[in-house]
A and B are shown apart, each in its own frame.
Chain A
């Protein structure tokens, strides 16, 4: 399974943008890049995903490098509620229901008031 590398922790100030990086140098052509986050004492929740093009939704933006070996999750204006652990995961739809998602340790984001 292709692996991802993320910084252990990052800090941001409230209402400032946050860029969370993820390296995935062994990504295959069919892997989608997914981001999840886990708020304290909760299960992970889906944030965004993409394949090649940059993606936007109401929660965040995903910027994918042209060679797809790295990506960046962008929170445009961090709030205290965005303090969480953020996971970058690669998913291969060709595996169908047999895929085994691999969650690393993720990046713990601290948002300062």
Chain B
């Protein structure tokens, strides 16, 4: 049981490049989330998926797209990276939103130059 896994762990992009951050969970969880964390700040929700086939915007969705490929996988895409998207990105999942705890992945450190 690997929990929540994220790839890659580190990435450096040039402004304007695109990339997809991958997230997978093997806990049969329904809901999945993408957060970003800037230095010294709390986490901010980018997008979430309450269940397979649904996605919705969070607090800071601009510049990102997501795909809930199946129940296990939830990807985050940057179509045209900007320096303001330099951050650490965390994926999380939860079996049943509400009482149950969220499980977080180890994060992806992204630098956009």
Contacts and interface: CB of A to CB of B under 8 A. Distances in A.
Interface in A34-53: 34, 36, 41-46, 49
Contacts of A100: 45, 48, 58-59
Nearest to A97: B50
A103 B99 contact: no
Interface stretch (A16-24, A65-73, A86-94): A86-94
Query: Interface residues of B: mostly helix, strand, loop or mixed?
Result: loop
Contacts of A93: 97-99
Interface in B11-49: 30-31, 33, 35, 40-45, 48
Nearest to B44: A103
Interface of B: 4, 30-31, 33, 35, 40-45, 48, 50-51, 54, 56, 58-59, 90, 92, 96-99, 101-107
B37 to A, nearest CB: 8
A96 B41 contact: no
B98 A44 contact: no
A29 to B, nearest CB: 14
B30 A97 contact: yes
10 pairs of A and B residues whose beta carbons are closest in the complex: A93-B98, A97-B50, A43-B104, A46-B101, A103-B43, A103-B42, A97-B31, A97-B97, A105-B42, A43-B90
A86 to B, nearest CB: 11
Contacts of A97: 30-31, 50-51, 54, 96-97
B42 A96 contact: no
Contacts of A34: 101
Contacts of A103: 35, 42-44
Contacts of A91: 97-99
